[in-house]
Amino acid sequence: MPAPELGPIGLAQPAGLMDRAKSLEVGRCLHPSTVSENVLARLHDRSGIEHRAIAILEPDGAIPLYGIDAAGERRSETIPTTAERMQAYREHATPVALEAATRAMMRAGVDADAVTHLVTASCTGFAAPGVDLDLIARLGLAPTVRRSHLGFMGCHAAVNALAVAAALARESPTARVLVVCVEISSVHFHHDDRLDHVISNILFADGAGAAIVGHDLEHAIGRIERTASKVFPGSGDAMGWHIGDHGFEMTLDAEVPALIGGGLPAWLRNDVGLDSASVGGWAIHPGGPKVIDTVVEGLELAEDAADASREVLRTCGNMSSATLLHIIDRLHASEIPTPWVGLAFGPGLTGELVAIR
């Protein structure tokens, strides 16, 4: 059986849009005075982000979850509990996931009764019943649809979700696998002066991406030719994502870009057998500007090879698992010729690759 096809991507973001000025305002409210305004401003300038979607941002600019009012003042010093953050996740994740899934199905020309499998990915919230069952009910999928959920895998989970979908699609030529990645990262903003926590508050955003995977799709943008994975040795403490009493806590070592740069070329060359020169388009997950720069430099790519990744970072921020689908959609919309290679990195430190032709 040939490699499964990937249908057009469906994208969605919540309505709340946080520009750089608003992000600075929120940062001043959340972090103690030991984080100076100059440091906040410099980190925002270096982030490469102009604006990002934030689900918990009210139309008047207030963020009730963090006690921030419309005037940009923090009226409560109480830090929300993990339970309160999970309640906010449940409120906001389903609508944006539903919007992305609906668009993906419409663009692929696949009706609800044709969907045989549902693969969901999210690392910013958990509930049972969760987003997957919400989607079955709201989309009108069959109650017999087979479900797989990839939880807590981090920013590279879109690759894992596509790999699972491709494996399921190989079971039958009539399989139609709906993949949905959704993240509400904004429910996990930090409140201390740790530099990696300050950076996380600046980088992460909310959004969703979805696609149909199967054979003989009416509309397809390419085939999922292969996926690959690599755990970078000695990097287990470099990036982490842990559940605490006051939300999920990110650990992000400053050495992450160097670890990626040191291990990436050999992995792609020796293990994957990838010839970078033969790649038409690159979808590099924007863990931050330095991660993009490291991949470009390490693989000796042309500077414009990362244009799609930088543009998604600039206009959307880092939406964790949903981000890679946004970049792939941009490659397709820009008519960048295949093959495309998607690269993403997450806790472990782990790299994931998907090749689409």
For residue 209, what are the β-bridge partners? 11, 181
Nearest 5°: phi and psi at 230?
-150, 125
CA dist 8 and 19 (Å) reads 29
155: annotated active-site residue: yes
The closest alpha carbon to 99, from 9, 186, 185, belongs to 9
Give me the count of residues in the chain: 357
Q: How many CB atoms lie within 10 A of CB 202?
A: 24
* Both tokens assigned to 228: 């690959």
Place of tokens 């994208």: 11
Which residues on adjacent β-strands are paired with residue 143? Answer: none
Q: For residue 298, what is the enclosing H or E element?
A: helix 289-298
Q: Which of 29, 155, 181, 316 is catalytic?
A: 155
Give me 211's structure tokens. 């696609």
Looking at the annotation, which residues are catalytic?
A: 155
